[in-house]
Amino acid sequence: MKIDVLSLFPSMFSGVFGESILKKAQEKGAVQYNVVNFREFADNKHGQVDDYPYGGGAGMVLKPQPIFDAVDSLSGGQENTKKPRVILLCPQGKRFNQEKAEELAKEDHLIFVCGHYEGYDERIREHVVTDEISIGDFVLTGGELGAMVVVDSVVRLLPGVLGNEDSPVLDSFSSGFLEHPHYTRPSDFRGMKVPEELISGNHKLIEEWRERESLKRTYERRPDLLENKELNKRQKKWLEEWKNDRN
């Protein structure tokens, strides 16, 4: 996968892309990062990429020309038939989730546009961008941190990036439930013991415990995830028991 990032502050990404799983992914050849300062595409001698909004108002708006030209350059120009996904990070975008991460992980080329100031010229949204993404109902000073979050969640899903191929499948939200609790050695720490099921050696019992605890954690912390979720008979029985315990 190729990932291009358009940012006015490209140095923000050096630490993130140069450490941990994101670094290893590039070393393995699973992904190639390219962070570009789109000020370099400005068509004026001062490198200005923003201007005052028509109609007045506070703040500055990113001009269309630098973004259009930068995306054309990175995507192979307007003649290229294989278009990349161009992702705009903005508060008005669709809320990012694991399903979206899995969808983007299937692409060959992603371009992230990180804005600043008051906003973007609307023509960028209408004619360049394929996806508008928000990482939450809050406002950041720019799109860089949002892009880092999305890139991290996507890259770890690429084949061969994680050591254990089952890890992405078992993550919270991948199954529709929150992930079950985890324990490691020692089995008894200051009188706090690991559940007997996990040290029983009975794989069927262990899987059932994990399924039950995953559902329970979801029910207690994110019941909204269960609203349209189809449950099997065993899961329905557990859920009914917990509801009765609350009454």
Q: Which residue among 69, 72, 132, 171 is the active-site one? A: 171
241 noted as active-site residue: no
118 noted as active-site residue: yes
Q: Which residue among 72, 118, 132, 152 is the active-site one? A: 118
Kind and range of the H or E run holding 169: helix 167-170
Kind and range of the H or E run holding 239: helix 233-246
Q: Position of tokens 């962070």?
A: 35
Q: Which residue among 10, 53, 64, 91 is the active-site one? A: 91
Contact, 143 vs 113, CB < 8 A? yes
Give the CA distances from residue 159 to residues 21, 122, 162, 186, in Å, rounded to whole numbers and listed in that order. Answer: 13, 36, 8, 33
Contact, 216 vs 178, CB < 8 A? no
Closest to 113 (Cα-Cα) out of 2, 7, 11, 1? 7
Structure tokens at 18: 């140069």
91 noted as active-site residue: yes
> Would you say how long the chain is, in residues?
247
Q: How many CB atoms lie within 10 A of CB 166?
A: 8
Q: Which residue among 4, 50, 66, 156 is the active-site one? A: 156
Residues catalogued as catalytic: 91, 118, 156, 171
